[in-house]
Amino acid sequence: MQTASSSTETPSRLFDLSGRVALVTGGSRGLGRADCLALARAGADVVVTDILIESDPELEQAAASSGSALSQAMASQKAVYAERTSSEIRALGRRSVAIKMDVTNRQQVQSVVDQVVKEFGSLDMLVNNAGTLDHMGTLENQDDALWERDLKVNLTGAYVCSKAVWPHMKERQWGRIVMMSSIAGALGGFGQASYATTKAGLVGLARTLALEGARYNITCNAIVPGIIGTEAFKMGRADMNERMIKRVALRRPGQPEEIAAAVTFLCSQEAGYITGIALPVTGGLDLFTF
Protein backbone atom coordinates (compact mmCIF):
# COMPACT_ATOMS: atom_id res chain seq x y z
CA MET A 1 0.00 0.00 0.00
CA GLN A 2 1.51 3.31 -1.06
CA THR A 3 1.43 6.08 1.50
CA ALA A 4 1.30 9.77 0.73
CA SER A 5 4.90 10.20 1.88
CA SER A 6 6.18 7.52 -0.47
CA SER A 7 4.28 8.69 -3.53
CA THR A 8 6.44 9.41 -6.56
CA GLU A 9 3.90 11.75 -8.11
CA THR A 10 5.14 15.27 -8.75
CA PRO A 11 2.90 17.81 -7.03
CA SER A 12 1.38 20.42 -9.31
CA ARG A 13 2.98 23.85 -9.18
CA LEU A 14 1.09 26.41 -7.18
CA PHE A 15 -0.16 29.53 -8.94
CA ASP A 16 0.23 28.02 -12.41
CA LEU A 17 -1.07 30.52 -14.96
CA SER A 18 -0.15 28.54 -18.04
CA GLY A 19 -2.57 29.12 -20.90
CA ARG A 20 -3.80 32.41 -19.45
CA VAL A 21 -3.36 35.85 -20.99
CA ALA A 22 -2.80 38.94 -18.85
CA LEU A 23 -2.91 42.63 -19.68
CA VAL A 24 -1.06 44.99 -17.33
CA THR A 25 -1.44 48.76 -17.52
CA GLY A 26 1.44 51.02 -16.59
CA GLY A 27 3.85 48.16 -17.22
CA SER A 28 6.95 50.09 -18.27
CA ARG A 29 8.48 50.39 -14.80
CA GLY A 30 7.95 50.01 -11.06
CA LEU A 31 5.10 47.86 -9.83
CA GLY A 32 3.70 47.31 -13.33
CA ARG A 33 6.95 45.91 -14.68
CA ALA A 34 7.31 43.62 -11.64
CA ASP A 35 3.72 42.42 -12.12
CA CYS A 36 4.36 41.60 -15.78
CA LEU A 37 7.45 39.55 -15.02
CA ALA A 38 5.88 37.71 -12.08
CA LEU A 39 2.81 36.72 -14.09
CA ALA A 40 5.06 35.49 -16.89
CA ARG A 41 7.17 33.42 -14.49
CA ALA A 42 3.93 31.80 -13.33
CA GLY A 43 3.24 30.77 -16.94
CA ALA A 44 1.04 33.55 -18.32
CA ASP A 45 1.37 35.31 -21.64
CA VAL A 46 1.56 39.02 -20.85
CA VAL A 47 0.62 42.16 -22.76
CA VAL A 48 2.61 45.14 -21.43
CA THR A 49 0.81 48.45 -21.92
CA ASP A 50 1.88 51.98 -21.05
CA ILE A 51 1.70 55.51 -22.42
CA LEU A 52 5.50 55.34 -22.57
CA ILE A 53 7.19 52.95 -25.00
CA GLU A 54 10.95 53.38 -25.33
CA SER A 55 11.12 53.11 -29.14
CA ASP A 56 8.35 55.70 -29.56
CA PRO A 57 9.85 58.62 -31.52
CA GLU A 58 7.46 60.87 -29.60
CA LEU A 59 8.37 59.46 -26.18
CA GLU A 60 9.15 62.74 -24.46
CA GLN A 61 6.15 64.42 -26.07
CA ALA A 62 3.92 61.60 -24.79
CA ALA A 63 5.36 62.05 -21.31
CA ALA A 64 4.80 65.80 -21.45
CA SER A 65 1.22 65.45 -22.68
CA SER A 66 0.44 63.13 -19.76
CA GLY A 67 0.93 66.04 -17.38
CA SER A 68 2.91 63.76 -15.07
CA ALA A 69 6.20 65.08 -13.73
CA LEU A 70 7.24 61.52 -12.88
CA SER A 71 6.59 60.29 -16.42
CA GLN A 72 8.57 63.19 -17.81
CA ALA A 73 11.47 62.40 -15.48
CA MET A 74 11.42 58.73 -16.45
CA ALA A 75 11.34 59.57 -20.15
CA SER A 76 14.20 62.06 -19.89
CA GLN A 77 16.28 59.56 -17.91
CA LYS A 78 15.46 56.76 -20.38
CA ALA A 79 13.99 54.78 -17.47
CA VAL A 80 11.21 53.30 -19.62
CA TYR A 81 11.22 49.52 -19.97
CA ALA A 82 7.99 48.42 -21.66
CA GLU A 83 9.66 46.74 -24.64
CA ARG A 84 12.51 45.45 -22.50
CA THR A 85 9.98 43.85 -20.17
CA SER A 86 8.18 42.26 -23.09
CA SER A 87 11.49 40.93 -24.43
CA GLU A 88 12.35 39.42 -21.04
CA ILE A 89 8.97 37.72 -20.95
CA ARG A 90 9.51 36.20 -24.40
CA ALA A 91 12.90 34.94 -23.21
CA LEU A 92 10.96 32.94 -20.60
CA GLY A 93 9.11 31.20 -23.42
CA ARG A 94 5.90 33.19 -23.07
CA ARG A 95 4.12 35.30 -25.64
CA SER A 96 4.31 39.02 -25.07
CA VAL A 97 4.01 42.37 -26.79
CA ALA A 98 4.43 45.95 -25.61
CA ILE A 99 1.65 48.29 -26.74
CA LYS A 100 1.29 52.02 -26.25
CA MET A 101 -2.04 52.64 -24.52
CA ASP A 102 -3.55 55.60 -22.71
CA VAL A 103 -6.08 54.33 -20.17
CA THR A 104 -8.04 57.59 -20.45
CA ASN A 105 -8.65 57.02 -24.16
CA ARG A 106 -11.71 54.75 -24.37
CA GLN A 107 -11.38 54.08 -28.09
CA GLN A 108 -7.70 53.22 -27.78
CA VAL A 109 -8.31 50.89 -24.83
CA GLN A 110 -11.07 49.06 -26.70
CA SER A 111 -8.86 48.73 -29.77
CA VAL A 112 -6.01 47.24 -27.73
CA VAL A 113 -8.32 44.78 -25.96
CA ASP A 114 -9.80 43.66 -29.28
CA GLN A 115 -6.28 43.26 -30.69
CA VAL A 116 -5.18 41.15 -27.74
CA VAL A 117 -8.21 38.85 -27.93
CA LYS A 118 -7.67 38.39 -31.67
CA GLU A 119 -3.92 37.79 -31.53
CA PHE A 120 -3.62 35.92 -28.23
CA GLY A 121 -6.96 34.10 -28.31
CA SER A 122 -8.23 35.33 -24.96
CA LEU A 123 -7.82 37.94 -22.26
CA ASP A 124 -8.15 36.35 -18.84
CA MET A 125 -6.47 38.72 -16.40
CA LEU A 126 -6.33 42.50 -16.06
CA VAL A 127 -4.05 44.35 -13.68
CA ASN A 128 -5.12 48.00 -13.38
CA ASN A 129 -1.78 49.43 -12.35
CA ALA A 130 -1.48 52.68 -14.36
CA GLY A 131 -1.56 55.71 -12.13
CA THR A 132 -0.25 59.15 -11.26
CA LEU A 133 1.70 60.00 -8.11
CA ASP A 134 3.01 63.52 -8.43
CA HIS A 135 0.20 65.83 -7.31
CA MET A 136 0.97 67.21 -3.86
CA GLY A 137 -0.75 70.07 -2.05
CA THR A 138 -3.11 70.68 0.83
CA LEU A 139 -6.75 71.16 -0.09
CA GLU A 140 -6.53 74.89 -0.76
CA ASN A 141 -3.45 74.29 -2.89
CA GLN A 142 -4.76 71.35 -4.89
CA ASP A 143 -4.51 72.03 -8.61
CA ASP A 144 -7.98 71.58 -10.10
CA ALA A 145 -6.60 70.41 -13.43
CA LEU A 146 -4.39 67.80 -11.75
CA TRP A 147 -7.34 66.67 -9.61
CA GLU A 148 -9.28 65.97 -12.80
CA ARG A 149 -6.26 64.26 -14.37
CA ASP A 150 -5.84 61.96 -11.37
CA LEU A 151 -9.51 61.01 -11.45
CA LYS A 152 -9.26 60.22 -15.18
CA VAL A 153 -6.09 58.15 -14.92
CA ASN A 154 -6.25 56.43 -11.54
CA LEU A 155 -9.97 55.74 -11.23
CA THR A 156 -11.76 56.22 -14.54
CA GLY A 157 -8.86 54.52 -16.35
CA ALA A 158 -9.40 51.36 -14.30
CA TYR A 159 -13.13 51.56 -15.00
CA VAL A 160 -12.54 51.93 -18.75
CA CYS A 161 -10.13 48.99 -18.93
CA SER A 162 -12.33 46.77 -16.77
CA LYS A 163 -15.38 47.56 -18.88
CA ALA A 164 -13.47 46.73 -22.06
CA VAL A 165 -12.32 43.28 -20.89
CA TRP A 166 -15.59 42.39 -19.14
CA PRO A 167 -17.47 40.88 -22.13
CA HIS A 168 -14.55 38.58 -22.96
CA MET A 169 -14.30 37.33 -19.39
CA LYS A 170 -18.05 36.80 -19.20
CA GLU A 171 -18.01 34.82 -22.43
CA ARG A 172 -15.23 32.55 -21.14
CA GLN A 173 -16.82 32.32 -17.67
CA TRP A 174 -13.47 33.07 -16.05
CA GLY A 175 -11.59 36.23 -15.21
CA ARG A 176 -9.32 37.97 -12.76
CA ILE A 177 -9.20 41.74 -12.26
CA VAL A 178 -6.76 43.33 -9.81
CA MET A 179 -6.86 47.01 -8.85
CA MET A 180 -3.70 48.68 -7.58
CA SER A 181 -4.88 50.81 -4.67
CA SER A 182 -2.61 52.34 -2.02
CA ILE A 183 -2.23 52.73 1.72
CA ALA A 184 -3.09 56.40 1.07
CA GLY A 185 -6.53 55.24 -0.02
CA ALA A 186 -6.98 53.41 3.27
CA LEU A 187 -5.46 55.90 5.70
CA GLY A 188 -5.62 59.15 3.75
CA GLY A 189 -2.56 61.09 2.66
CA PHE A 190 -1.64 64.57 3.86
CA GLY A 191 -1.37 66.74 0.77
CA GLN A 192 -2.62 63.88 -1.40
CA ALA A 193 -6.33 64.56 -1.71
CA SER A 194 -6.63 63.49 -5.35
CA TYR A 195 -4.35 60.47 -5.02
CA ALA A 196 -5.92 59.17 -1.80
CA THR A 197 -9.44 59.71 -3.13
CA THR A 198 -8.84 57.84 -6.36
CA LYS A 199 -7.07 54.96 -4.60
CA ALA A 200 -9.94 54.63 -2.14
CA GLY A 201 -12.35 54.66 -5.07
CA LEU A 202 -10.58 51.68 -6.62
CA VAL A 203 -11.54 49.57 -3.61
CA GLY A 204 -15.21 50.46 -4.07
CA LEU A 205 -14.95 49.66 -7.77
CA ALA A 206 -13.25 46.33 -7.03
CA ARG A 207 -15.96 45.28 -4.59
CA THR A 208 -18.73 46.25 -6.97
CA LEU A 209 -17.16 44.29 -9.85
CA ALA A 210 -16.66 41.37 -7.46
CA LEU A 211 -20.41 41.28 -6.85
CA GLU A 212 -21.33 41.66 -10.51
CA GLY A 213 -18.71 39.21 -11.73
CA ALA A 214 -19.31 36.41 -9.22
CA ARG A 215 -21.95 34.62 -11.30
CA TYR A 216 -19.52 34.53 -14.23
CA ASN A 217 -16.54 33.25 -12.21
CA ILE A 218 -14.85 36.65 -12.47
CA THR A 219 -13.07 37.75 -9.31
CA CYS A 220 -12.00 41.31 -8.61
CA ASN A 221 -9.72 42.37 -5.78
CA ALA A 222 -7.57 45.31 -4.78
CA ILE A 223 -3.98 45.33 -3.62
CA VAL A 224 -3.15 47.99 -1.02
CA PRO A 225 0.62 48.57 -1.17
CA GLY A 226 2.47 50.44 1.53
CA ILE A 227 5.85 52.13 1.06
CA ILE A 228 7.43 50.36 -1.92
CA GLY A 229 10.94 50.93 -3.23
CA THR A 230 10.02 51.94 -6.76
CA GLU A 231 11.68 54.58 -8.91
CA ALA A 232 9.21 57.14 -7.55
CA PHE A 233 10.17 56.35 -3.96
CA LYS A 234 13.88 56.58 -4.74
CA MET A 235 13.35 60.01 -6.27
CA GLY A 236 11.85 61.27 -3.01
CA ARG A 237 13.61 63.23 -0.30
CA ALA A 238 15.82 60.97 1.80
CA ASP A 239 14.62 62.45 5.10
CA MET A 240 10.96 62.00 4.19
CA ASN A 241 11.59 58.43 3.02
CA GLU A 242 13.29 57.62 6.31
CA ARG A 243 10.42 59.14 8.24
CA MET A 244 7.93 56.95 6.38
CA ILE A 245 10.02 53.80 6.85
CA LYS A 246 10.05 54.37 10.61
CA ARG A 247 6.26 53.94 10.56
CA VAL A 248 6.58 50.52 8.96
CA ALA A 249 6.57 47.64 11.45
CA LEU A 250 9.17 45.76 9.39
CA ARG A 251 11.30 48.92 9.19
CA ARG A 252 11.99 48.72 5.47
CA PRO A 253 10.31 49.59 2.21
CA GLY A 254 8.69 46.74 0.34
CA GLN A 255 10.02 45.56 -2.99
CA PRO A 256 7.97 45.63 -6.21
CA GLU A 257 8.36 41.85 -6.42
CA GLU A 258 6.53 41.49 -3.11
CA ILE A 259 3.53 43.29 -4.54
CA ALA A 260 3.79 41.24 -7.73
CA ALA A 261 3.68 38.01 -5.71
CA ALA A 262 0.34 39.06 -4.22
CA VAL A 263 -0.97 39.98 -7.67
CA THR A 264 0.06 36.59 -9.03
CA PHE A 265 -1.72 34.81 -6.19
CA LEU A 266 -4.95 36.74 -6.72
CA CYS A 267 -4.82 35.88 -10.43
CA SER A 268 -4.36 32.17 -9.73
CA GLN A 269 -6.82 29.31 -9.55
CA GLU A 270 -5.90 28.91 -5.88
CA ALA A 271 -7.44 32.33 -5.18
CA GLY A 272 -10.68 31.42 -6.93
CA TYR A 273 -12.73 31.80 -3.73
CA ILE A 274 -11.30 35.21 -2.89
CA THR A 275 -13.11 38.22 -4.29
CA GLY A 276 -13.92 41.75 -3.23
CA ILE A 277 -11.02 42.13 -0.81
CA ALA A 278 -8.55 44.96 -0.29
CA LEU A 279 -5.33 43.13 0.53
CA PRO A 280 -2.76 45.19 2.47
CA VAL A 281 0.85 44.48 1.48
CA THR A 282 2.35 47.09 3.75
CA GLY A 283 4.94 45.55 6.05
CA GLY A 284 2.69 46.56 8.93
CA LEU A 285 2.42 50.24 8.01
CA ASP A 286 -1.29 50.03 8.77
CA LEU A 287 -0.64 48.74 12.30
CA PHE A 288 -0.22 50.88 15.41
CA THR A 289 3.55 51.31 15.50
CA PHE A 290 5.70 53.58 17.66
Domain boundaries, the chain: 16-281
The burial class, CB within 10 Å (0-12 / 13-18 / 19+), for 116 is: buried
**What does 89-112 look like in DSSP terms, one character per residue?**
HHHTT--EEEEE--TT-HHHHHHH
pLDDT of 7: 39
Q: Which of 159, 195, 216, 273 is catalytic?
A: 195
Would the CA dihedral through 199, 204, 205, 209 be positive or negative? positive
Rg of the chain on CA atoms, in Å: 19
Distance CA(73)–CA(270), nearest Å, equals 39
pTM for the model stands at 0.93
pLDDT of the chain along its 290 residues, tens only?
344 443 344 446 789 999 999 999 999 999 999 999 999 999 999 999 999 999 999 998 888 888 888 888 888 888 899 999 999 999 999 999 999 999 999 999 999 999 999 999 999 999 999 999 899 999 999 999 999 999 999 999 999 999 999 999 999 999 999 999 999 999 999 999 999 999 999 999 999 999 999 999 999 999 999 999 998 888 888 999 999 999 999 999 999 999 999 999 999 999 999 999 999 999 999 998 77
Closest CA to 123 of 133, 131, 112: 112
pLDDT of 12: 62
Question: Does the active-site annotation cover 195?
Answer: yes
pLDDT of 8: 44
Distance CA(130)–CA(119), nearest Å, equals 23
- Determine contact, residues 249/287, Cβ cutoff 8 Å: yes
- Determine contact, residues 161/204, Cβ cutoff 8 Å: no
pLDDT of 4: 41
Q: Which CATH number fits domain 16-281: 3.40.50.720, 3.30.43.10, 3.40.50.11540, 3.40.50.2300?
A: 3.40.50.720
pLDDT of 41: 98
